[in-house]
Amino acid sequence: MSAELGEIDEVATKKTFERTQPALMACYTTGLDRVEYMAGDVKFFIRVKADGRMRWGFLEQSTLGDRTTETCMLGVLGATQWPLPEGGEAEVHQSLGFDPPPGVRPPADWSPDKVKAAINLKAAEASACKKHGAGVFPITAYVREEHGAGHVVAAGAAAPTGAAAPDVDCILGVVRAMKLPTPGSYAAKVSFSL
């Protein structure tokens, strides 16, 4: 077992990401069936083992706003054969952006202040989700009006260092249960931290 990080060929790593583009886009396209106005940026953090397989990966940043799509993308990267690192395991960081689909009206942009009261009400519940010592979770959520109130229809999160997938899923469960102001006749998108 090596305690030091190795190096990974940048050109070969870029080509590997390019090979994953159709599968990553398939995750996104499938997500559009659930959230037709989904768009945003993601930044992946991948730890590559000496054999070229992913040891673990998570989203360092994400404004995509749909955990199912984010998890699908991490699954694609986890099933990918990466270039063999030299001198030990290697870390890979990669950002991707997804534009709104053509002809689809984007959701209204909400300030985090718009959901501050709901965040304060759920803070203790969110803290209980942080079982692995994780810090602050950056969240992005889509809100629609249902029966005169705002409801989270999709949410996603980046993972702080030390967070495990169950922590992220627990936090997003708290977010989906939030009672929010109504955005009116069309959806809103909001990013905040818990």
Q: How many CB atoms lie within 10 A of CB 87?
A: 12
pLDDT by position in tens, the chain (length 194): 344 789 999 999 999 999 999 999 999 999 999 999 999 999 999 999 999 999 999 999 999 999 999 999 999 999 999 999 999 999 999 999 999 889 999 999 999 999 999 999 998 999 898 876 668 899 999 999 998 899 999 999 998 876 788 889 999 999 999 999 999 999 999 999 99
Phi, psi of 16 (to 5 degrees): -65, -45
Return all residues near 71 (Cβ < 8 A) that are at least 6 apart.
Answer: none
Instruction: Quote the DSSP letter at residue 114.
Output: G
Domain regions of the chain by residue span: 10-98, 108-193
Q: Is 103 left (phi over 0), alpha (psi -120 to 50) or beta?
A: left
Phi, psi angles (nearest 5°) of residue 88: 125, 180
Within 13 A of 108's CA, how many CA atoms are on the CB side?
14
Report the C-alpha gap between 14 and 18 in whole angstroms.
6
* Strand pairing category for 108-110 and 188-193: parallel
CATH class of 10-98: alpha beta
